[in-house]
Amino acid sequence: MHADYFAEKKYVWDYLLGELNGIPITYEKAEDHSGYTLSFAGGKAWFADDFFNRNGEPDELYTRKNLPQNPVRIKNAWSKEGELITLYGQPEISSDSGVFICRADVVASAFFMLTRWEENAEPARDSIGRFPFAASINCRFDLQYRPLVNEYAAFFVNVLKSLGYTPPPSSRPVRFVPSHDIDYLTLWPTWYHRLRTMAGDVLVRRDFTFTKWMWTEFDKLTRNPYHTIGRLLTAAEQRQAKATFYIRSDEEDYSPASPLLLDWINQIHQRGHRLGFHPGIKAARDSSVFGREWKKLQSILPSEPTSGRTHYLNFSVPETWSYWHDACIEEDSSMAYSEEPGFRCSCCTAFPVFDYRQRSTVPVREVPLLWMDRHLTKKNLTTETAINLVESLWDMTCKYQGDYVFLWHNSSFHLPEWKPFEPVFDAVYSLKST
């Protein structure tokens, strides 16, 4: 392949062929060569380089004018879905006499989705600074439920098989990965808060539904609906899964020194589950705030966390990834749209992070979040449609031997708005591999 943007291209090939398929790769740079040629005994495959071949400097390449204009769709026999979708290139595939040619730019499309450079080329932001789903290519092209990166990896293998190459057998298991953000410890920190909620129902909202529920469902306010750690731990253990609990230390809604929190942390640790860092909204764009919160959390945890997720999924590409690295945290699991479930990175497997500005990998792995409980309420789903959604994401994840990462908050039980979705929680833990 051409020497320009060699690190970027190698990053994609290392992941798609190397990590996901276990295929050994030897690279050759060729100044006079365009595209990518895969050569092996008995066959040859050529794939277009439409994007990086534009030869712009990085500051010019990753700009709004170079965002995809229309998806490239090609019906073919090598794609598991029966159709190859890319963001760059031309809709042309041919195979004849042991030579395969694909003019769709698969590599640039995978690079686009994994690095998220789109999120700086497109200036749109929501009220707290997040990149909104509505501004994304996923939304424009209706791609949020397609793990295109994993589809590309499977496509490459099928192409090579058709040319006579025998890839190593896949041994990657489907992973069931429950996670829980501890955003709040209690619905009512004191009796004052409970009475204030009731007064608001009576005097302001003129709606007695919640007040009636508090009296009838929770023993006249003596119990708290957010105290569900035991239920979450037991559900994971019955599934033989290890859950991750992300803890805040920004002191906005609770103190890291809270005896209740310390008791929960002890339960989680003693039962063999994982503790993670959940930095506050401001920390995603401020390394000093991130560092202060990280030190606070370290002081109360029994072991060093290796995973993190930002509060409200607030994230700045690529800066926040570098904050994780500076804190020696090995993985992030923030990559989901706050408004929409699905595959924000077009990927259902953990992947290495590449900083497109520094033009190098970051020693952090992204473990994409596929859906959370809040998606169900934001989309106004019924119990049945919510179950169908989480099952369809599970089926797609199984198809590509991925990581089924979901988020259910400790606060998403018991309350009237969550009652319709408790069967969804139970259904998730009953999912079977397809």
Q: Partners of 38 in the beta sheet?
A: 45
Q: What is the pLDDT of residue 220?
A: 46
Q: Clarify whether residues 115 and 230 are in a common domain.
A: no
What CATH code is carried by the domain that includes residue 313?
3.20.20.370
The secondary structure of residue 302, as a DSSP letter, is S
Q: Clarify whether residues 157 and 67 are in a common domain.
A: yes
Q: How far apart are CA 193 and CA 196, in angstroms?
A: 5
Q: What is the pLDDT of residue 434?
A: 65
Q: Clarify whether residues 380 and 245 are in a common domain.
A: yes
Neighbours of 223 (CB within 10 A): 10
Is residue 299 one of the residues assigned to a domain? yes
Q: Clarify whether residues 119 and 17 are in a common domain.
A: yes
403-407 and 43-47 beta bridge pairing: unpaired
Q: Clarify whether residues 268 and 413 are in a common domain.
A: yes
Is residue 239 one of the residues assigned to a domain? yes
Residues 101-124 have pLDDT tens digits of 999 999 999 999 999 999 999 999
268 φ/ψ sector (left φ>0, alpha ψ -120 to 50, else beta) = alpha
Is residue 198 one of the residues assigned to a domain? no
Q: What is the pLDDT of residue 213?
A: 63
Is residue 210 one of the residues assigned to a domain? no
72-75 and 244-247 beta bridge pairing: unpaired
Is residue 284 one of the residues assigned to a domain? yes
Is residue 119 one of the residues assigned to a domain? yes
Q: Partners of 304 in the beta sheet?
A: none
- pTM beyond 0.85: the answer is yes
Tokens of 233: 């731990």
Neighbours of 168 (CB within 10 A): 10
Q: How far apart are CA 430 and CA 325, in angstroms?
A: 35
Q: Which amino acid is located at 322 in the chain?
A: S
What value does the mean pLDDT of the chain take? 93
Q: Clarify whether residues 360 and 300 are in a common domain.
A: yes
Tokens of 309: 């997720």
Tokens 């040619």, residue?
A: 101
Q: Clarify whether residues 274 and 415 are in a common domain.
A: yes
Q: Clarify whether residues 151 and 271 are in a common domain.
A: no
Q: What is the pLDDT of residue 32?
A: 76
Ordered DSSP codes for 402-426: -EEEEE--TTSSSSTTTGGGHHHHH
For residue 154, the surrounding DSSP H or E stretch is helix 148-162
Q: Clarify whether residues 181 and 111 are in a common domain.
A: no
Neighbours of 221 (CB within 10 A): 16
Is residue 203 one of the residues assigned to a domain? no
Q: How far apart are CA 87 and CA 109, in angstroms?
A: 5
Q: What is the pLDDT of residue 286?
A: 97
Q: Which regions in the chain score pLDDT beneath 70?
A: 55, 189-223, 434
Q: Clarify whether residues 248 and 331 are in a common domain.
A: yes
Question: Domain count of the chain?
Answer: 2
Q: How far apart are CA 288 and CA 271, in angstroms?
A: 33
Residues 58-99 have pLDDT tens digits of 889 999 999 999 999 999 999 999 999 999 999 999 999 889
Q: Clarify whether residues 404 and 288 are in a common domain.
A: yes
Is residue 394 one of the residues assigned to a domain? yes
What is the residue range of 91's domain? 6-162
Q: Clarify whether residues 116 and 247 are in a common domain.
A: no
